[in-house]
Structure 1
């Protein structure tokens, strides 16, 4: 008998609708976010540089880049970046050898002092050094070395820019070389000593060659930092009439406004090209040859013997010269009534601090705006970085790698390049809403989110590498959703890394100048560029007071972050030994 049910038409069931899981949806939102704040602005920058009117015009781009002043500025940028990088590599490598392999006392305190200049905003550093060599320098005056009134300032020159950039970027080299040296096992040094190698031979034939990757990585970071350091180049280069690409872009905007954006885009692309080539060359040099070693054990200790006291004295003398000299001059200038006065009981005043905190409306508004933008950026980036670090560490994939590369690109490119990209992308009204955020605080916030995303990620990536995934897997098996696992499992375990990342972003964003110098307006000013504006306006004592307040904020934040040092991944706080 024929089975009637088998021949009767079956009722078709509707195909299950495609559903996006919370993880896929979250990753898609992250991709859109990063594309909007990083890839799209940089893409618009590149398009404007080569096709300012919508059609390819390489001849027009070349006509901008071939101008004599652009060539001079490019050569000057390369010169100061390369020379200062060489100085930073020497200082940073010596410091790393001294603290990793040397048996000096009070290493932690010395490392804190050596890394501290990196935490201070570059414009404050430049202002402090300018005032340190003034005729009223409180330290040089004690030794009769102060400049005579009317003499040319030694820092207003190419040599001054190189000197200051080298000192400022030396901690960057120190951090990478120190990490490389710590991975070298002590048995290598023991084998070299057994072969009759002395201390210098051990350093130059074993330790430094094996730490080559760290040295080149530090050199690349120092070069990128130097070529994009607006604070030092502007504070010293503009008065010295020593143009660089970064100051040329700044002066182009001041002279022509948005009408000169196509020229600024071409200059920014040239600056970006130099940066990318330098990074590629450094990676190639650092990767040549196989210098892999088996990690483990304590680093070899190099006994200084009878040179211990002179080396320790020289190390602390370096900190005194690079910290005490400029900071004391900055503090002394902030306490006098007028620039050029000697600090004494008759000239001592707190008026500059009172004006900065209460009476100067533009400074007060700049502090408030910076605080609002910084807190907002920290809160948003803490959440975004936690979720993004989860995907980078445990999910991976092509899209995740692309998001990470976009975040890193926005961080390594000179900040002024990102500033030009943000202007180009957000100058026109936004789709759907119909208004432009150019000239408002929101474009600065977008730039902060783009520039500091990679910085916020680093402590969290280190944290994910040190925690066990089994708890998250167990919660998944028990039926916990993605957001519940992030809230109840991941966040409690990585809370210290989130806090550390937030504090580092807070310090960086509150005093930031590289990006915001092009984005500030009369209605949206931040405290970072205020030092430059006050100094250009002749208010040096007020600028010194603002600089001292910024340093106090940095020190307070470093102290707060240090409270969590025991619960953080190693290396999350750069000033901790």
Structure 2
């Protein structure tokens, strides 16, 4: 074979392009994605395990024995399990009932009901907790006007384990609905018709025939709710800390903040326990679902029960739930934001916009936090959208051991709670990076890494759904015609998957702009984000300012949801959670 030096210029260019394509083709991209995803998803788990289990002298038997013999640790573990279990039961009851009504009845205005039901899930949990605290406090502006407020000086009912369970149950109920409604839609009409022909009532048909067939979806919904309850720092912190109900989440946060880096090895161990709980919940749900024999002949239609005389009672019940769970807390939050001091009744004399003026213009800390959150969220959205589009191609259309590794990594990313991820990133970046001698700890860059790692699974799901709806014939035809993989991705695949990628970007933006689970562990005086500011303001006694910030957060989320809903016809069907 002649050397490159003796080849004609045109031939040299062809050989160079061939070599370049080998290193920039889909195999090279697959390897790079594997390294990137492994770094994002697996490295934090490995770092947690090393710090948790080993000290300088080897396996940390003595330290771990002391940690788990402490009453505080056992109390936090027991409380975490009780809260997650009971709140999951509450979420299942609410979510299953709502899903059954939405899927199997002829109730009107379902789109509005679904939008209102899912809205609390889009609101940051710390804002939800603050709204509920103000709505049911002795100085509640709403209940006060109705003469139903508690006596001044009485203990707040939500500062208790019951309060944490109740609020987590309500907060995670939309997760149950979103997970279950797809399973219910796939159930066959022929089985329902057979049950009706045998004399079963519509209600009996639903609860004895259709719901048992959907038990796999119910178990998956329970798993999601359990994992979400364990990892919901905002509600656990705002209700559990003042109510003296310790959980693993709040104990990790308080120990790291009160003791400092010396507490990290023990908190890494508690983080591993959190990860073990979430992984166990997912594996148990998958195991139970795999043992359920639900092999059925799917139909194209589904049962529709005519409510008849029960239409108005059902409508009143559902909208009454929306008023109590959504409108009442948000109205209390709004009223608190419009008075100069917490506890004052809203009137013409007490009405003021100074809290909003302060939040938008007069508080440099809030302004800097908003700017930091905006650029971190925007950069994260771009990075995650690109990764999700590339990775979705391989997970959907490529098989092999490397793809199975990628699938494992994506599952691992979902299993890591936010606070645990924060502890892992502190351990990884506490010391300066080798070679570069640069420390990311205490800077906004470590939060960016956290956003990319924490929202990786969320960004991937809509994109995978979009790939499943694509006909691959165009891409295969272009491949036969000689188009390179990169050209096929740019000119064919990306335009087809762009709507799903857009939905993915929207969901990541809405989740990251107010994120608190991980950033609460990573913010510093030079790198603040918007999400944790609610807790800091509330703890500092600035309840009216915190209420104004919370209202602005809700308004921003609501605006994004409404605008996206208007243009939803350009997106894949039901890729947005609030679509019916």
- Using the size of structure 2 for normalisation, the TM-score is 0.95
Q: Distance in 1 between matches of 2:380 and 2:57?
A: 34
Question: 1:7 aligns to what?
Answer: none
In the alignment, is residue 255 of structure 1 matched against residue 235 of structure 2?
A: no
Give the deviation of 1:105 after TM superposition.
1.1
Question: 1:290 aligns to what?
Answer: 293
Partners of 1:84 and 1:162 within 8 A in 2: yes
Give the deviation of 1:177 after TM superposition.
1.4
Give the deviation of 1:277 after TM superposition.
1.5
Partners of 1:370 and 1:510 within 8 A in 2: yes
Give the deviation of 1:107 after TM superposition.
0.5
Q: Distance in 1 between matches of 2:154 and 2:372?
A: 39
Report matched runs for 1:157-236 at 5 Å.
157-236=160-239
Q: Per-residue displacement from partner, 1:34-70 (whole Å, max 9, x unpaired)?
A: 1222211210101111113262223422321221110
User: In the superposition, relative to structure 1, how do residues 276 and 425 fare at CA in structure 2: closer, same or farther (>3 Å)?
Assistant: same
Question: 1:359 aligns to what?
Answer: 362
Give the deviation of 1:463 after TM superposition.
1.0
Partners of 2:233 and 2:249 within 8 A in 1: yes
State the superposition RMSD in angstroms.
Answer: 1.8
Q: Per-residue displacement from partner, 1:221-257 (whole Å, max 9, x unpaired)?
A: 0000001100000000010111111000000011111
Q: Distance in 2 between matches of 1:404 and 1:317?
A: 42
Partners of 2:141 and 2:344 within 8 A in 1: no
Partners of 1:500 and 1:564 within 8 A in 2: no
SS at match of 1:527: coil
Give the deviation of 1:478 after TM superposition.
2.4
Q: Distance in 1 between matches of 2:491 and 2:183?
A: 36
Deviates more, 1:554-563 or 1:79-88: 554-563
Q: Distance in 1 between matches of 2:526 and 2:503?
A: 32
Question: 1:135 aligns to what?
Answer: 138
Question: 2:9 aligns to what?
Answer: none
Give the deviation of 1:297 after TM superposition.
1.9
Q: Per-residue displacement from partner, 1:443-463 (whole Å, max 9, x unpaired)?
A: 110011011111111111111
Give the deviation of 1:271 after TM superposition.
1.3
Deviates more, 1:452-461 or 1:370-379: 452-461
In the alignment, is residue 457 of structure 1 matched against residue 449 of structure 2?
A: no
Report matched runs for 1:415-564 at 5 Å.
415-564=418-567
For structure 1, the residue ranges without an aligned partner over 5 or more in a row are 1-10
- Using the size of structure 1 for normalisation, the TM-score is 0.95
Partners of 2:126 and 2:238 within 8 A in 1: yes
Partners of 1:458 and 1:572 within 8 A in 2: no
Report matched runs for 1:351-430 at 5 Å.
351-430=354-433
Q: Distance in 1 between matches of 2:231 and 2:381?
A: 23
Give the deviation of 1:17 after TM superposition.
8.3
Q: How many residues align?
A: 567
Alignment counterpart, residue 238 of structure 1, candidates 212, 216, 241: 241
Partners of 2:176 and 2:224 within 8 A in 1: yes
In the alignment, is residue 303 of structure 1 matched against residue 306 of structure 2?
A: yes
Q: Distance in 2 between matches of 1:465 and 1:316?
A: 35
Q: Per-residue displacement from partner, 1:416-442 (whole Å, max 9, x unpaired)?
A: 111111111111211221111011111
Write out the 4+ residue segments of structure 1 that deviate beyond 4 Å after TM superposition.
Answer: 11-14, 16-19
Give the deviation of 1:89 after TM superposition.
0.3
Q: Distance in 1 between matches of 2:416 and 2:341?
A: 39
Q: Distance in 2 between matches of 1:209 and 1:528?
A: 40
Q: Distance in 1 between matches of 2:493 and 2:68?
A: 50
Partners of 1:65 and 1:266 within 8 A in 2: no
For structure 2, the residue ranges without an aligned partner over 5 or more in a row are 5-17
Question: 1:328 aligns to what?
Answer: 331
Q: Distance in 2 between matches of 1:143 and 1:339?
A: 18
SS at match of 1:20: helix
Deviates more, 1:489-498 or 1:441-450: 489-498
Question: 1:8 aligns to what?
Answer: none
